[in-house]
Structure 1
Amino acid sequence: MEADLADLAEAIIGVGRELRLRPYPDVVELTASEAHVMRHIDHHPGVTPSELARATGLQRSNMSTALRTLENRGFVERRTDPHDARGVNLFPTRRAGENLKRLRRQWAQQLSGALGGDTKDAAAATALLARVEAALMADRLG
């Protein structure tokens, strides 16, 4: 069982690497940190910068740099927190959504091709990996 789980972790890393190495025409490329920050904001619109730093596990300076770059590129917007005018919430922009849509379409094409069109187990694999990610993140955040 331990070997199976280690093999699963290795496969996840390998698939992620292969997906990152592919060129994606018409998609604005992001650094690993920018993509990590953007993914969290996409999944948690309205997140505060402090929540974002904690959730991503990035050092504050790296997170700030990635966030500033994403804002400058028109991917993230800051809005005043409706409950506390001193705070801000972070939201993906329409540009970010369009970029993500193009990227997801190209990922789907890559995976479909790699699987020879046999995608019957994709939903079960996605559910398993989402469960693993959520549990690992909860463990890290304590």
Structure 2
Amino acid sequence: MSHTHDMLIELLREVNRGLAEQIKKILTEHQLPLTTIMITGQVKRKPGVTVSELARRTGFAKSHISKAVKELAKKGWIQKKTDPADQRRVRLFLSEDAEDQLAQVRERIRQQIAEVVSHLSEDKAAAMIEGLKEIRAALEITEQGKDDR
């Protein structure tokens, strides 16, 4: 790998860490643990998901997910509904309150990142857009290669 590629890898890591820190500060301001964001994000993407499915999707232990879901249900963020096809199964859904609060957090994160990128000139921003599109395409190619195995 070339020196340029090595430098790109290191810069991507630094930018990723920096953005993660900005997001972490915002989540702390809103008193939201990262696990809450991960769980609610999964429930938003797949309404009706089960605790077992959440555990598989997040990589967290089922017991950890169950405890977090219980807390989120107490807060009124997650609604538990029995699956009509299988009364033993409980499906999870986001409440409107959770949707509203998460939308506010997402907007605050978007504003923070907008502030960061506002320091770039239009030309630099356009060049970065093209570069990031190429990285996204390379990710897709890499994922397709893994799927073909």
Check whether TM > 0.5: yes
Larger radius of gyration: 2
1:20 and 2:24 correspond: yes
Q: Give the 5 Å matches for 1:1-142.
A: 3=6, 4-22=8-26, 28-116=30-118, 121=129, 128=136
Alpha-carbon distance in 2 for matches of 1:97, 1:87: 24
Alpha-carbon distance in 1 for matches of 2:28, 2:104: 9
Long gaps (5+) in structure 1: none
- Please, what TM-score do these two structures have when normalized by structure 2? 0.71
Alpha-carbon distance in 2 for matches of 1:59, 1:23: 22
**Greater per-residue helix proportion:** 2
Moved over 4 A (4+): 117-120
Query: Higher relative contact order by CA 8 Å / sep ≥ 6: 1 or 2?
Result: 1
Question: How far is the alpha carbon of 1:82 from its aligned partner?
Answer: 2.4
Instruction: Answer yes or no: is the 8 Å Cα contact 1:24–1:103 preserved in 2.
Output: no
How high is the sequence identity, in percent, across the aligned residues?
A: 27
The alignment yields a C-alpha RMSD, in angstroms, of: 3.1
Aligned residues: 130
